[in-house]
Chains A and B, each alone.
Chain A
Amino acid sequence: MWTDWIHWLSSTAPDELLLIVLPLLCLDGVRYCFASVAMCLWDAACGSIRPARSPSEYVPDVCVILAGLNESETIVSTLESVWGSYPKLQVIVVDDGSSDGMADLAQEFAATHENVLVLRKPKRGGKSSALNFAIPFTDADVVICVDTDSHLEANAIHEIVQPFADPNVGAVAGTVLARNGGVNLVSQLQASEYLRSIFLGRMLSSRLGILSIVSGAFGAFRREAILATGGWDVGPGEDGDLVLRLRKAAWKIVHAPYAQCLTNVPLAWRTLFRQRRRWEWAIVTFECRKHIDMANISSPNFRMSNLMLLLETWIFRIALTLVGIIVLSWLAITKPGLLGYVLLTNYVLYCVLELLQWIVVMYYTPKPARDAWSIACLPLVPAYYLFLKFASVVAIVEESLWRRSYEDNFVPVHVRRVTWHW
């Protein structure tokens, strides 16, 4: 097959070949690879040395909120990684109606550690209400959300609060990396993806001013901004929704690439599919319905960056994904013999683009030895992204047609029954 492919490549006219690879080059190529390569070359030309620690010494009061449900196995280790890692730190653990003794374990930790508060919600209300429950109990300038199964790297809190020295910054996204990346192929691929999409991708989005997501696993918010925008709304996708509301309120959203947090990723394909499907529902729910007013040019709150953000989602993540499926389907029907070569050509090209991005990651990462291994699964990355695209398409279709997210148990039934169905 390889020889046939090479033969086909050599026999295909360059303009025809360009036509085959142009969609990939113009879409993911431009959007991810070329942009990140350009950023890297620019930083290299400017002599920008990757700092191990931010030079500024902004030290605001910080409150870390650990909201979780039935996380008794990981809550103590998370608390241990958080407590004491920052001088002016308050920790609030919110137990969202757990039945496995998570709050008791947290209370035991709180009994022997200062400034740790444990709040218990008698009834499960969902992650949004759990996070909002902590807000009245803190006066900190910055509120940081950390998943209860996560582990903060050294200086993570220090790194993530530095951008708040700019009073216009409303939220800062940290870098979430896979903690259990070496367990199996699924986790390795996710670990590689997190490096590329979260570490590098958000760095680029932040530079371009179109960052639209601050992960709930590790994200920092100015408390004043949270209070002004009413805190988290009912999810799923509550983290992205809050960021969009902050953007609409003219707050800046930035990324702190060296504020790193390790979290557990799904280890099974089915679990991964369900997770990504839940994440992708938010594209329709928030960026096509709830916050479509960001595209209203006549609105007094209109900002071009918000419009660019919406366009990026509509075009790259929705329209072109669907177009790509249609084109591939057409090829499969009309030119089945060509389909294989087209897919293989794009697959190889994708690998090359991934390799370029891997080089950029190596330039920026503070731990090259830790992250270099991700090259090992590079040949499988394009297939992996196809899988994710499939989950994305499923999510887009079912959310658009049936509002599937309002049937998901991520939000308790008594909440999703009364919340707005956008």
Chain B
Amino acid sequence: MALEQLPPEPTAAMAALRLLHIEADDVDALKLKLTLREQLPADSTVDHVSNLDEGLEVLNSSVYDAVLVGLAAADTRSLDTIKHFTTEVDDTPIIVLSGDTDQRCAVRAGRSGASAFLLKSGLTGAQILGSLRQAMHVHTYDGELPERRKEPRYTLETTAVIYPIEDDGKPGREIAATTADVSESGIVVLADQDTDLVPDICLLGVQCPDSVYRYATVEWRHRRLALPSVRFGGRFLRRTDDPLHVSRLTPRFDTRSLRFKTPMDAAAVQEWVARGILQPVLVDRVKVCPQCEAIPTFRDGCPACGSALTENSKLIHHFACAHIADAAEFAGESVSCPKCRAGNLVVGADFEHLAGTRNCTECEWNDTNLAMIGECLKCGHRFHGQEAIDKDVFEYYVDRLDPLALIDRA
């Protein structure tokens, strides 16, 4: 059921409301709950906290349609506090419930930023509901409802699993959970787990209609007891603050180690792969140094010592007698053929140059064919090309959860 803006007059059934009641007096809190029980739309919830600080904490992690703040009689100090509170919570209408009948108290409540002021004595559920409707309708943020409040939330119960992401990036012990509701930017789950054992950032796997688990990285904004479970509410991390973002799982050439590696620690990657969360995809295969597995450079070189510094000997082909020999054999006062003794030979007319064998300038090697030599850029090891090791380069992907698909299902 989608959440819609309430019309000024109640012409249609109101959507479920989520209310936060801040009340130090537990008796008053219970009274209000009982008062509202018959009036609020189905599936509405009223959460209770005891003080404003706690209320702020809850509001930072969850979205409420309105906040009901209870004040004790002549509690001027509370009004000052409310002013601070309304400043902090500017996107949620605040209705002050006070035991002080003094009109001046009502004025001051209004000046403190509250949307409405109600006296606790004789307060009916209808009055509260009317004020709520009015306050929610009037309360705007720059002419529009805040995005957070515009975003609809949908109830969804399905199996989920929480993978805590440890400091080293490795997955922690998985925690069974159940989803409660979902929106485009966040999700609420219930889990039987000590909240202290669940870090702020986790990977949440949700079983989708095709029975496949898909994952989203979540930052928990609030955790509250919802006996017998714990209610975790968080927002989806989508950008680079996501430890499992695709940019951290794509291999890049590391200029220090001269290897292809993912920004995420390799050991952590393998842990996630072992859990079946990360799927490796072969993207390339590279030749690496057999000694240190860094990337080498390949070039033609001396098969004996691997040096790239080789020279071609020069041959001379004497046309008249078809003699071909090293140019040094033709050297003399003039170019002379050692076979037929013809002298004063002219290049082009009498002879041509041809490329001869290759000599290595660093060792005694002399032959025809150079070899493909690899030289490691990191450790300097020289080796024949066929000794290089083939190393697969993988990138990893997570089967990502699409909140919209879940919303459709909800």
A is bound by B: yes
B100 in contact (CB, < 8 A): no
CB <8 Å contact, B339 and A230:
yes
- The answer to whether B320 touches A419, judged by C-beta atoms less than 8 angstroms apart, is yes
How far does the alpha carbon of A128 sit from the alpha carbon of B320 in the complex, in Å?
11
- Known contacts A121-B354, A136-B356, A136-B357; A418/B324 CB under 8 A: no
A136 near B315 with CB under 8 A, answer yes
Q: Quick one: closest B residue to A125, CB to CB?
A: B317
Tell me, rounded to whole Å, the shortest Cβ–Cβ distance linking B123 to chain A: 93
Residues of A within 8 A of B149 (CB): none
Query: Which stretch, A142-150, A231-239, A247-255, A308-316, touches the partner chain B?
Result: A231-239
Q: How far is the CA of A230 from the CA of B325 in the complex (A)?
A: 10
Q: Decide yes or no whether A123 CB sits under 8 A from chain B.
A: yes
- Minimal beta-carbon separation of A410 from chain B (angstroms): 13
Q: In the bound complex, how far is the Cα of B354 from the Cα of A122, in angstroms?
A: 8
Give the residue name and chain of the B residue nearest to A90 (CB): B368
Contact B368 A137 (CB under 8 A): yes
CB atoms of A234 and B321 under 8 A apart: yes
Interface check A132, CB cutoff 8 A = yes
Contact A415 B319 (CB under 8 A): yes
Bound Cα distance A335, B354 (Å): 63
Check B227 for interface membership: any CB of A closer than 8 A: no
**Chain B contacts of A137 at CB under 8 A?**
356-357, 368
Q: Does B352 contact A (CB under 8 A)?
A: yes
Docked-complex contact A133 and B321, CB < 8 angstroms:
no
Contact, CB under 8 Å: B322 / A233: yes
Known: A117-B368, A230-B339, A418-B349. A133 touches B354 (CB 8 A): yes
Contact A234 B354 (CB under 8 A): no
- Given A121-B354, A126-B322, A234-B322, are A133 and B317 also a contact pair (CB < 8 Å)? yes
Check if B319 sits within 8 Å of A132, measured CB to CB: no
CB distance from B393 to the nearest CB of A (A): 27
Categorize the interface residue count of chain B.
Answer: 20 to 34
Select which of A122, A129, A136, A414 is within 8 A of B322 by beta carbon: A129
Could you tell me which residues of chain A, from 371 to 420, have a CB within 8 Å of some CB in chain B? 414-415, 418-420
Q: Which of A126, A133, A136, A419 contacts B326 (CB 8 A)?
A: A136
Q: Does A322 sit at the interface, judged by CB under 8 A?
A: no
**Interface hub of B323, B340, B352 (most chain A Cβ within 10 A):** B323
The answer on a CB contact under 8 Å between B357 and A418 is no
Bound Cα distance from A123 to B315, whole angstroms = 14
Hey, which chain A residues are within 8 Å of B340, CB to CB? Answer: 230
Q: A231's contact among B323, B357, B368, by CB below 8 Å, is which?
A: B323
B323 touches A230 (CB 8 A): yes
A61: min CB distance to chain B, Å: 14
Nearest opposing residue in chain A for B353, CB measure: A122
A267 contacts B by Cβ under 8 Å: no
Per the bound structure, the CA–CA distance linking A25 and B369 in Å amounts to: 58
Q: State A135–B321 Cα separation when bound (angstroms).
A: 15
**Which one of B321, B326, B352, B368 lies within 8 Å of A123 (CB-CB)?**
B352
Q: B346 — nearest CB in chain A belongs to which residue? A: A418
- Our pick among B322, B349, B356 for the contact of A132 (Cβ within 8 Å) is B322
User: A417: nearest residue on chain B (CB-CB)?
Assistant: B319
- Is B350 among interface residues, defined by CB-CB distance under 8 A? yes
The answer to whether A420 and B322 have CB atoms under 8 Å apart is no
Of the listed residues B319, B326, B340, B349, the one surrounded by the most CB atoms of chain A closer than 10 A to its CB is B319
Rounded to whole angstroms, the CA-CA distance of A232 and B317 in the bound complex is: 12
* Cβ-defined partner of A419 (8 Å) among B321, B349, B354, B356: B321
Q: How far is the CA of A171 from the CA of B368 in the complex (A)?
A: 26
User: B323 touching A419 by the CB < 8 A rule?
Assistant: no
Closest-by-CB residue of B relative to A232 is: B322
Q: Which residue of A lies closest to B349 (CB)?
A: A418
Q: Is the CB of B324 within 8 A of A133?
A: yes
Which residues of chain B from 179 to 218 have any CB-CB distance to chain A below 8 Å in the complex? none
Within the complex, the shortest CB–CB distance from A150 to chain B, in Å, comes to 22
Q: Tell me the nearest residue of chain B to A135, going by C-beta.
A: B324
Nearest A-chain residue to B369, judged by Cβ: A117
Cβ contacts under 8 Å, B369 to chain A? 117
Q: A117-B369, A136-B315, A136-B357 are in contact. Are A128 and B352 (CB under 8 A)?
A: no
Q: Is the CB of B320 within 8 A of A136?
A: no
CB distance from B175 to the nearest CB of A (A): 58
Per-residue CB contact flags for chain B residues 337-351 toward chain A (1 = under 8 Å, else 0) read 001100000000110
Query: Closest residue to B322 on the A side, CB-wise?
Result: A128
Residues of A within 8 A of B322 (CB): 125-126, 128-129, 132, 231-234, 238, 415, 419
Q: How far is the CA of A128 from the CA of B350 in the complex (A)?
A: 16
With the chains together, A296 CA to B339 CA distance in Å? 23
**Set of chain B residues within 8 Å of A418, measured between Cβ atoms:** 319-320, 349-350
> B174: shortest Cβ distance to chain A, in Å?
53
Judge whether A132 and B320 touch: CB under 8 Å.
no
Residues of chain B within 8 A (CB-CB) of A238 are 322
How distant is the Cα of A197 from the Cα of B356 in the complex, in angstroms? Answer: 39
Contact in complex: B319, A136 (CB < 8 Å): no
Task: Enumerate chain A residues within 8 angstroms of B323, measured Cβ to Cβ.
Answer: 132, 230-231
In the bound assembly, the distance between CA atoms of A343 and B150 in angstroms comes to: 121
Interface code A223-235, partner B: CB below 8 Å = 1, 0 otherwise? Answer: 0000000111110
A123-B352, A133-B354, A136-B315 given; A420·B320 CB < 8 A:
yes
Residues on A with beta carbons closer than 8 Å to the beta carbon of B324: 129, 132-133, 135-136, 231
A128 proximity list for chain B (CB < 8 A): 322
Hey, which chain A residues are within 8 Å of B319, CB to CB? Answer: 125, 129, 234, 414-415, 418-419
Contacts of B350 in A (CB 8 A): 418
* Cβ distance A416 to chain B, nearest Cβ, rounded Å: 9
Given the complex, which residues of B lie within 8 Å of A122, measured CB to CB? 352, 354
A121, B355: Cα distance in complex, Å = 9
- Say how far A98's CB is from chain B's closest CB, in angstroms: 16
A121 to B320, CA, bound (A): 17
Contact between A234 and B326 (Cβ–Cβ < 8 Å)? Answer: no
Q: How far is the CA of A238 from the CA of B320 in the complex (A)?
A: 13
Q: How far is the CB of B386 from chain A (nearest CB, A)?
A: 12
Min distance, Cβ B316 to any Cβ of chain A, angstroms: 11
**Chain A contacts for B357, CB-based, 8 A:** 136-137
Kindly state the separation between the CA atoms of A122 and B323 in the bound complex, as whole angstroms. 16
Interface residues of B in 305-331 (CB under 8 A from A): 315, 317, 319-326
Interface string of B126-157 (1 = CB under 8 A from A): 00000000000000000000000000000000
Residues of A within 8 A of B339 (CB): 230-231
What is the CB-to-nearest-CB distance from B358 to chain A, in angstroms, rounded to a whole number? 10
Q: Which A residues contact B (CB, under 8 angstroms)?
A: 117, 121-123, 125-126, 128-129, 132-133, 135-137, 230-234, 238, 414-415, 418-420
Sample of 16 further A-B pairs with CB below 8 A, known A128-B322, A233-B321: A117-B368, A117-B369, A122-B352, A125-B317, A125-B352, A132-B322, A132-B323, A133-B315, A136-B356, A230-B339, A230-B340, A231-B322, A232-B322, A415-B319, A415-B320, A418-B349
Q: Can you offer 28 A-B residue contacts whose CB atoms are under 8 A?
A: A121-B317, A125-B322, A126-B322, A128-B322, A129-B317, A129-B324, A132-B317, A132-B322, A132-B323, A133-B315, A133-B317, A136-B315, A136-B325, A137-B368, A230-B321, A230-B339, A231-B324, A232-B322, A234-B319, A234-B320, A234-B321, A234-B322, A238-B322, A415-B319, A415-B320, A418-B319, A418-B320, A418-B350
B-side residues, CB < 8 A to A, are 315, 317, 319-326, 339-340, 349-350, 352, 354, 356-357, 368-369
Return the 4 tightest CB-CB contacts between A and B, nearest first.
Answer: A128-B322, A230-B339, A132-B324, A129-B322
